[in-house]
Structure formats: C-alpha cells, structure tokens
Structure 1
Amino acid sequence: MISSTHVAAALVLVYAIYRIARIGKREGYLPPGPPTVPILGNIHIFPKTWAYLQFTTWAREYGDCYSLKIGSGTMVVISSAKAFNEIIDKNSAITADRPPNYFADQVTSGGLNMVLARYGDKWRTLRRGAHEVLNLAVAKTHRPLQDSESSQLMYELLTIPEKSFTSVQRFASSVILSVVFGKRAPQFTTKEVKAFFHVQHIWEYLLFPGSFAPVDYLPFLKYFPEPLAKWKPVVKEVRDLQRDLYFGLLDETERRKEDNGCYMETILERSKEWGMDREMIGYLGGVLMEAGSDTTSSYLNTLILGILAFPDAQRKAQEEIDRVVGSDRAPEYDDLENMPYMQALLKETHRFRPNAPLIPRSATEDLYYNGYKIPKGTDIIANLWGIFHDPDVYENPEWFWPDRFLDNDVGTKKEKGEVPGQRNDIAFGGGRRVCAGIHVAKYSLGVVAMNLLWAFSFTPALDENGNEIKPDIWDYAQALGSAPNPFKATIKPRSPQHAEIIRRRFVEATPRLQAFEHEISDEDRVVLDKMRAEALQGLKGH
C-alpha cells in the first residue's frame, strides 16, 4: 500500500522535474527567437565570437525585436531604429539600468565603472561628476589643447607615416590623459599609454559576450574553484592593472602643485560636495580615460581604413576641403559647418563600424513592444550593427559611402522616406545613458578628420613586390568595442606647402603642450626635444 508520504514525495518530484524542464523555455509573451532546449535555453548556440554579426543574422529571421533564453534568464535584442526609439529613448526611465555584470563588479570595487554600473545612487553620483566636467561649456575650454595634440599627430604622420596606426592611438590617449589627469603622452610607448592599451585589451576580452562562462545567468558558476573558473585570474589581473594605472595617475594629480585646469582637479576639489569618495574618483577618472581613448582611436583608424578601401570618398572630401579651406592654412572646427560632405563622412564612419556595436541595458519595469512583453529584469541588447547594416534601410550597407548622408540627414534609402526613430547620432547611445563625453569626442573627431584629409593623401601600402595590399575592412579585433587591427597605408603630404604648415603648427603648439608635460620620462623628454628641433630645422630649411 502506497502511503500518503510517498504520494507527496512523488508529487514534489514531478513538480521539481516540471519546473526544471521549464528552465530555458521561452515564455509565450516574449518576442520570438531561436528554438530553445531544456535548461540551457539558447546558451548552446550563443555566439562566442562576433556576437553582433550573429545577432544581426537572427534579426533578419526573427524581426527587429527578438528574445534569447540564457538558462532561466531572458535577453531581448533590438535591431531597428524604431525599436531603439520606442524601447531605449521613449522608455529611458525604465531602460537606463545595465544588466548585472559579475566581472565588472569584481574588477571595480562593486561596480564603480560608470559605463557598466547599475542604475542607482552610485551611478547618479558618477554621472553627475562626469557631466560637471564634460558639459559643452567646459569641453570648449579644452579645444586649444585638442588642437595642439592634433598638430603633433599631423607631424608624426609627416615624419613617421609607417607608425600611423599607433600615432592615432597616442593622440587619442594623450588628449584624454591631459584633459582628465593634466598629463600628456608624448609617445605611444609612454608608460601610461602602454599600460592603458595592455589592460584595455584584457578588460574588453573579459567583458566580451562568449569569452567566458555566463556567470550572471548561471550564478552558481561563481563558486567554482579557480581551475574550473578560468575568468578568476583574469579578473584579478585586470583589477590590479587598472588600479595601478588609474590611482597612480590620481596620486600624481594630487601631488602636482600646478593648476592646468584638468578634470581631476575639479573633481578632487568638489568631491565632498558631490558625495564622491576616493574609490569613486579613481574609477571615474579611469572610465573617462577608457571611453575617450579607445573609442576615438578606433574611430579615426576606421576612417582611414574606409578611405583606403573606398578612395572615391577621399577624393570628394579633399575637393570640398580645398574649396572651403585652400592650402594656405589648416582647417578649423568652424569650417566643418560649410562642409556637407565632410559631415557626411563623419556620420558614415559611425555607421560603417560603430565603436560599440552592442549596447546592453536592463528593464527595471515591464514594458511592451509590438504586442510583446519585455518583463522586468530582462537584459536588452541594442544591436547597433544590425541597425546600421540593414539592407532594407541602407543602400549597400557594407560600402563606405558618405554620399548616402547627402541624400538625407540619416542616410537611409530614398524610397524608405522617413524611418521612425532614425537619427544619425544613435552611435552615441540614447536615453539617460547617452555618451557623457559626446562634446569632447565630436570636436576631436571633426578637427582631426578634416586635418587628415586636408594634409595627406592615403593610398594602400605596397608589398615587397610593389603590389598594392588590399585594405581588409573586416579585419577587426575580437573585443567589446569595434576596433580595426593594425594595418599599413602609404601616407604622403599633399604638397610642400602642406608639409610646411604642419611643421609650423607643431612648433607653435609647444608652449601649450609643455603645460601638460609633468613627470614625463627622460626618454620622452629626449624624443620631444628631438622632434621639436627637427621641426624647427625643417622650417628654417624652407
């Protein structure tokens, strides 16, 4: 005879099996998506490389808003401007959160990286500090410094064009180092720049979807011992390297007596007023360095790669620059408003290879789109790559073709008419988490892009047999951001007059740059002195 205890136990077992079997199954109210399997959901098919390409392929099959089941968790991927506008912009109050990020929390003292931090008091404090020092009025005060740094970039491309890729990286890093910490980087091998790119590479690999096990969706994994949890030594390495760099720079800023108007001076002075402790200050400085350095250099190298692969864009941009500026002076930022093609080229670079192809958010309340429910706690991935490479919206989306933005301000097909939610600055994000450094970034990108095309001709590099090396527009690093791998180019000044102006501007920038040359190494000092002496000698020779 079966006892009631046995019956109860059997019922509990059946219910447990039922509940376990439901894990990974897509709820009926969710947007559609790839077929799931029990327990795993879609983990078994989650892309380990080039996630944004697979996400875009799924978007063509399942629509502009589809769902993935990651164990018991849910991820919704949006791949149209309409969905971005409805979910991110119009519902910014409930989509300003980030998904839980165990790795980021472990690295940055409980989530003090402003870009990745959860939406709450910590984030609001960090964002306030960033806004106070990155708003347009303050950003304008740093434009002379950005101009001076760009003059060294132009001089490096004139004298050591074979190092163009790292020269661009040096420029971007030096600008943000100077603006944030008041100290510039004369070389790509400058200690701080070398340390930054080393740790940034590991940091982005750690964060890249698919690089390691999905600890946030399968939290029991965090208790695995280190031999079974390959991310644990990587987390420790990134944390140690970041702290050495960011807090070392903060210490140096505090020691320095001179006031050169850098952001950290303001933040240190007003930290108590804003409720920021030392940990928050150090990580805020670090995240500003991350955001300003890596993205700017990736963008500018993408622009160079684009005009190498599609030379018609270079020809049209230079014809416009010559018409507006001429060859007697270098371009200035205000010239940009009279250059519609250059404006189009800048927009096209954002579209062609967005710096952040995937933007993660999290819903703090239930919301609805196209009749489907996106429940509270759902991870939302804005697939910018999919938005910008939709062949139904953009003519030949894999072409670098600035002309599309001359036809209309958002670059979409003529026959599409007005595309709901489409805007040309989606690359900077949206809602309450739009890029805080947008004003500094737009100035650097605009000034440098104009000067690059005004000063130089860019053609493919030659191999040992004198044949052109075809630019590879798909050779991009496997990282959280979209950055081209190093490539070669033949870079030549467009005339002796252009070369002379480049030398003169670099020499004239010396006093302004020297105000940020604190505690630089003896090697950096020797290199700077030599560069300036050679530039001056070159002017005398002409």
Structure 2
Amino acid sequence: MSLRLGAVTTVVASSPAVAREFMQRHDAVLSNRTIPDALGDHAKNSMIWLPNNPRWRALRKIMATDLFAPHRLDALQHLRREKVQELVDHVGRLARRGQAVNVGRVAFITSLNLLSRTMFSRDLTSLDDDDGASREFQEVVTDIMEAVGSPNVSDFFPPLAAADLQGWRRRLAKLFAQQHRVFDEEIDGRLRSREAGVPKKNDFLDLLLDAAEDDDNTAKLDRDTLRSLFTDLFSAGNDTSSSTVEWAMAELLQNPTSMAEACDELATVIGSRRNIEESDIGRLPYLQAVVKETFRLHPSVPLLPRRAPVDTKIMGYTIPKGSRMFINVWAVGRDKETWPEPEKFMPERFLGKTVDLRGGRRICPGMPLAIRMVHLLLGSLLNQFTWRLPAEFEGKGVGMDEKISLTLIKVVPLCAMATPI
C-alpha cells in the first residue's frame, strides 16, 4: 500500500510475495535505508544506516571476516559456554531464594557480557549487579531504540527537520554520549597499553585498531566510526537477542504442550541438568522450531526500512524516487494464506522444513552469533529448570502485549519462577 505521511510518500510491503520482490528481485536497487532524522551524526558512520557504498562494504567485510566469521565464532565457543554457565548459576541462586527471574534482563546482561568479552576482553557488568551499571546500560539501549523508532515530525516534513520540534535528535545525542563515554574509556585504555608495550589481546578492539592503522583504510576507522560501530553492536545486538529469548519463554509458558515437547527433546538428546553445546543445536529440531516460530510471531525488527533511490517498477506499480519504504515483517509472519492459524504458536509448522532466515544484503551481520546465542540461552534455561508464573499471575496467563519501536518490545517484562531440575 502507498501512504502519504506528511510530505513523504511511503510504500509498505505486507505480504510475502511483495516482500520477496523488495528483498530479492530488487534488493540491489532498494538496499539503502531511509535514515531517521533523530540519528543525527551517528548515521554518517553507522554500518546499519550507511548507503551501499565502498565504505559500507568495507565495514561489513570487517564484520564478516574478523568478528562473525564461522572460524572466529568456533574459536570463542568456550567464552559463550562460560557466559551461559554464569547465567545458569545466577538463575539457580534466584531459585533457591524463591525470587522471580526477569528473563529479558538476565538474557540481556548475558548477551552484553558476551559481546564485551569479545570486543574488549572483559565484562562490562555482572548478573548480580541488578541496580547498577547493567540496569543503566539496558535502559539506555531501550531508550535509543524507542527514540529511533518513534514517529517524528522531522521525518514527515523534512523542511522542518532543522528545528527538531519534538527534540528526538537532542535526546538521542545525549543517549549516544552516555554509551560513547564507556567506549572511549576502552579505546583510550587500549591505546595507552599499546604505547606502554603491553602485548595485544587480539580481541575485536585490537583488530579494529590495527585496521585503522592500515594504509588502505577504506572503512575510515576513526574515533567516531569506532563509537558508532560499538553503539550499533551493543544496542541492536543485545536488544534483539535477549528480546527473542524473552518472547520464546513467554510463548512456551503460554503453551504447556510446546514447553513439554521442547523439554522432552532436550532431556532425550542432551540429558537433563546439562547446558547444551553449540554442536548439539543441529540435533534439536524442536528447539530450532521454537526459535523460528518465535521469530515469525515476534520479529526482532518488525518494520524493515528501505529507500527508493530512483523510480522503481515493482509488480506493475511505479515507486517514485525518494519514497520511504517498509517491509512489514510482523504482517508477513501473520499472513493467513501462508501460515495456517497464524496467531497460534505452533513450532510443529517448521519441523521437517528448511527455512532461510536471511533477508537480503542488508541482513544483520551478527545473525550467525545471535542464532547460536538464542539457542544456547533458551536451551540451557529449559534443560536446567522447570518454569512457572509467580503465584499472583497464575490463572491470568502471560501478558503478551507488544510495543513497536525500532524493535518489538514486550510491554510487561516476563518474570517467572525457576525450579532446578
């Protein structure tokens, strides 16, 4: 459908057939994204928002070959195993104290520390730091996603953008500055260590600093670019993975039959009271189906933004140059002609089927890591504990209200009681 939002023509693809046209047949032309005005200078150095140009391709190559390449992910399995064990130990302590587990928060902190160990060779916070740095960092990430995804008059009436009438650009600049202070400390500390002759850690920060010194620095890895890169990774990467784990647990608590099927598979294939290994994921088709069904019903990014750089003809319609475009992933996942009983959580619909989760050249480069982490976290939580709602919520069910910003947020955080198996 075509909408006139203020002064901007907006085209929305809400069916699988049209989404396929956008993201496969015309992906080369429609790979650039409309940049929200609220992003300000961040968009100039962000791999998420840069246009498909040599600099974007250079940054993406660094992501693909130095951070998320299969051989590098395999080499860091021990780190993910350690973080998952810390999560299980923390949930076990909460269970012994009779305290509810905020599933989204513990998944977020685990993912945050995994990334920070990969980037900086240290944890940024602790699972036991419930009121300190971890809570502040998650709130900043949530606020960033809300600011980027909120309706903004500057986007609907570009001539008014300079006035920033709703203040979203000013607010987002302050949030970015909060994250940048953390990243600057890491960068400055590493540079001082190098000057002092301290051996390299060979983590992602060292790799980036080496690339910045390269004569052929197509990616232009200056300080602003490093800040934007870390902001993208720690914001988008943490929020989407932890949110998927939270939605999956919520759906399983709503659907006891699916919960029992997933737990039985884990007990049979892995054995109860064990954390799963990454090599086990391929032997757990029902767990994989649970994750895919969660992606279908609760996509991490419900509206994928695109921009038409030239007049583009699709399925007999002309999309004018400069049009804003969205692929409505949320609606595609609920298409009645594609999915029988689309509102129902049915992991069985994915059993015995090969489903490609990739989505064109702008697909998240961190998807390989995210897929591993979601399965590890969810599988270990299910195989180590039984889960139920707190007494005050029993009989009422799980609150499943959604809030759409840049990502799909659960309005009421999922808090559940864990009992060690």
**How high is the TM-score relative to the length of structure 1?**
0.70
User: Does the 8 Å CA contact 1:168/1:300 hold for their aligned counterparts?
Assistant: yes
**How far, CA to CA, are the matches of 1:249 and 1:83 in structure 2?**
44
What fraction of aligned residue pairs are identical, expressed as a percent? 24
| 1:152 to 2:86 alignment | yes
CA RMSD of aligned residues (A): 2.3
Of 59, 73, 76, the match for 1:126 = 59
Of 381, 384, 395, the match for 1:452 = 381
The equivalent of 1:491 in structure 2 is 418
**How far, CA to CA, are the matches of 1:147 and 1:456 in structure 2?**
17
Q: CA deviation digits over 1:159-197, x for unaligned, max 9?
A: 114233322221111111111222213235486534422
Q: CA deviation digits over 1:296-337, x for unaligned, max 9?
A: 111111111111111111100111112112237432222222
**Pair 1:342–1:201, CA change in 2 (3 A):** closer
User: Does the 8 Å CA contact 1:461/1:468 hold for their aligned counterparts?
Assistant: no
Of 357, 362, 372, the match for 1:425 = 357
Greater RCO, CA 8 A, separation 6+: 2
Structure 1 stretch 80-89 or stretch 116-125: which is displaced more?
Answer: 116-125
Of 114, 124, 142, the match for 2:47 = 114
| 1:297 to 2:242 alignment | yes
- The AA in structure 2 aligned to 1:174 is N
Query: Within 5 Å, which residues of 2 pair with 1:355-434?
Result: 355-406=300-351, 408-409=353-354, 423-426=355-358, 430-434=359-363
Q: CA deviation digits over 1:49-98, x for unaligned, max 9?
A: xxxxxxxxxxxxxxxxx111123321111122222222112222111101
The equivalent of 2:31 in structure 1 is 96
User: Does the 8 Å CA contact 1:90/1:431 hold for their aligned counterparts?
Assistant: no
* 1:435 alignment partner, SS class: coil
**Pair 1:493–1:120, CA change in 2 (3 A):** same
The equivalent of 1:282 in structure 2 is 227
**How far, CA to CA, are the matches of 1:293 and 1:206 in structure 2?**
17
**How far, CA to CA, are the matches of 1:200 and 1:328 in structure 2?**
33
Q: Bigger radius of gyration, 1 or 2? A: 1
User: Does the 8 Å CA contact 2:262/2:287 hold for their aligned counterparts?
Assistant: yes
Of 126, 139, 145, the match for 1:186 = 126
User: How far 1:252 sits from its partner (Å)?
Assistant: 3.5
- The AA in structure 2 aligned to 1:456 is F
User: Does the 8 Å CA contact 1:309/1:473 hold for their aligned counterparts?
Assistant: no
| 1:199 to 2:140 alignment | yes
* 1:145 alignment partner, SS class: helix
The equivalent of 1:163 in structure 2 is 101
User: How far 1:269 sits from its partner (Å)?
Assistant: 1.2
**How far, CA to CA, are the matches of 1:158 and 1:380 in structure 2?**
46
User: Does the 8 Å CA contact 1:97/1:118 hold for their aligned counterparts?
Assistant: yes
Structure 1 unaligned blocks of 5 or more: 1-65, 410-422, 495-542
User: How far 1:478 sits from its partner (Å)?
Assistant: 4.6
**Pair 1:452–1:368, CA change in 2 (3 A):** same
**How far, CA to CA, are the matches of 1:471 and 1:263 in structure 2?**
39
User: Does the 8 Å CA contact 1:92/1:431 hold for their aligned counterparts?
Assistant: yes
**How far, CA to CA, are the matches of 2:209 and 2:107 in structure 1?**
30
* 1:432 alignment partner, SS class: coil
Of 89, 111, 114, the match for 1:175 = 114
User: Does the 8 Å CA contact 1:302/1:483 hold for their aligned counterparts?
Assistant: no
**How far, CA to CA, are the matches of 2:186 and 2:323 in structure 1?**
37
**How high is the TM-score relative to the length of structure 2?**
0.89
Structure 1 stretch 235-244 or stretch 173-182: which is displaced more?
Answer: 235-244
- The AA in structure 2 aligned to 1:73 is V
**How far, CA to CA, are the matches of 1:163 and 1:331 in structure 2?**
20
**How far, CA to CA, are the matches of 2:265 and 2:238 in structure 1?**
29
**How far, CA to CA, are the matches of 2:107 and 2:314 in structure 1?**
42
Q: CA deviation digits over 1:264-323, x for unaligned, max 9?
A: 111111123333222112211221112221111111111111111111111001111121
Of 20, 31, 50, the match for 1:85 = 20
**How far, CA to CA, are the matches of 2:173 and 2:113 in structure 1?**
27
Of 437, 440, 443, the match for 2:369 = 440
**How far, CA to CA, are the matches of 1:254 and 1:296 in structure 2?**
31
**How far, CA to CA, are the matches of 2:34 and 2:77 in structure 1?**
35
The equivalent of 1:316 in structure 2 is 261
User: How far 1:229 sits from its partner (Å)?
Assistant: 4.0
**How far, CA to CA, are the matches of 2:353 and 2:340 in structure 1?**
12
**How far, CA to CA, are the matches of 2:162 and 2:277 in structure 1?**
56
**How far, CA to CA, are the matches of 2:199 and 2:247 in structure 1?**
37
**How far, CA to CA, are the matches of 1:352 and 1:329 in structure 2?**
29
**How far, CA to CA, are the matches of 1:355 and 1:104 in structure 2?**
20
User: Does the 8 Å CA contact 1:196/1:245 hold for their aligned counterparts?
Assistant: no
**Pair 1:242–1:221, CA change in 2 (3 A):** farther
**How far, CA to CA, are the matches of 1:272 and 1:376 in structure 2?**
39
**How far, CA to CA, are the matches of 1:76 and 1:91 in structure 2?**
14
Aligned residues: 404
**How far, CA to CA, are the matches of 2:51 and 2:92 in structure 1?**
45
Structure 2 unaligned blocks of 5 or more: none
**How far, CA to CA, are the matches of 1:433 and 1:355 in structure 2?**
15
| 1:307 to 2:307 alignment | no
Of 199, 208, 213, the match for 1:267 = 208
The equivalent of 1:499 in structure 2 is none
Q: CA deviation digits over 1:213-244, x for unaligned, max 9?
A: 2x1331221243x7x44335313322322322
**Pair 1:89–1:252, CA change in 2 (3 A):** farther
| 1:479 to 2:405 alignment | yes
**How far, CA to CA, are the matches of 1:283 and 1:258 in structure 2?**
26
* 1:119 alignment partner, SS class: coil
**Pair 1:285–1:223, CA change in 2 (3 A):** closer
* 2:409 alignment partner, SS class: coil
The equivalent of 1:534 in structure 2 is none
User: Does the 8 Å CA contact 1:77/1:380 hold for their aligned counterparts?
Assistant: yes
The equivalent of 2:289 in structure 1 is 344
- The AA in structure 2 aligned to 1:251 is D
